[in-house]
Amino acid sequence: MAKDTPPRWDRRMQQRLARGEAAALGELYDRFASLVHMLAHRVLDDDEAADQVTREVFGYIWENPDAYDPKQGSMRSWVAKLTNGQAVHRLRQSGTAALTGGGGEGTAEELEQKVRRATVAARADYIVTSMPKPLRAALELAYRQRTDYRHAARLLGVTEDEARRRLRLGLQLLSTAHTRTLDGAPPPGQGPAPGYGRSR
């Protein structure tokens, strides 16, 4: 499969959404809602705001399925990009309102630092959850359970060289969170997601 060819599921999902299939939106929601909520919560640190972003992201996808370009990557990546863009937009909005309304402390520079930190953290979370299972397992053993690569190799049932390779590759992927962000997408619409019963 060519590098820029997305999985068939992504293409079929876009086609189904473009036809207005409510069941397709439900399937997409089942697959990605936990990712969307997790990324939004990582940026906003607020369950209610993350719920709102989740509704907005799926509402945007429902109304704009053609905004997804399969040549640019997977639908999962696109959904994550939309989520991060919307969550960062909401964070900036609330921070700016607090600054101009005198309801909070801090400066515009501090707000931008907060936005950058939240964006990096959300991207790191996304990278880890998107990693192939062998890489994710090696990283979790190394950083959550504080095991060295020798112990990780025994627990994973692989050679020490393979455990080192997985850790190195996982860390290389994770390091991109600091050099690249997902904050490139225009934010979805601000309204709540429309009902699933839309007709076109």
Give residue 2's pLDDT.
Answer: 41
Contacts of residue 120, defined as CB under 8 A and 6 or more positions apart, other chains included, come to 177, 178, 181
Q: Are 51 and 90 in contact (CB under 8 A)?
A: no
Q: Is the pLDDT of residue 193 over 50?
A: no
How many Å apart are CA 6 and CA 69, to the nearest integer? 10
**Region 123-151: what's the mean pLDDT?**
81
CATH topology for the 1-130 domain? Rna Polymerase Sigma Factor; Chain: A (1.10.1740)
Q: What is the pLDDT of residues 82-128, one digit of tens each?
A: 998 899 889 888 766 565 555 555 677 777 787 777 777 777 777 77
3-state secondary structure 165-199: HHHHHHHHHHHHHHCCCCCCCCCCCCCCCCCCCCC
* Stated pTM of the model: 0.66
**What are 18-38's pLDDT values in tens digits?**
999 999 999 999 999 999 999
What DSSP designation does 20 have?
Answer: T
Instruction: Count how many residues are written for the chain.
Output: 200
Determine the distance from the C-alpha atom of residue 91 to the mean position of all C-alpha atoms in its chain, rounded to a whole number.
Answer: 16
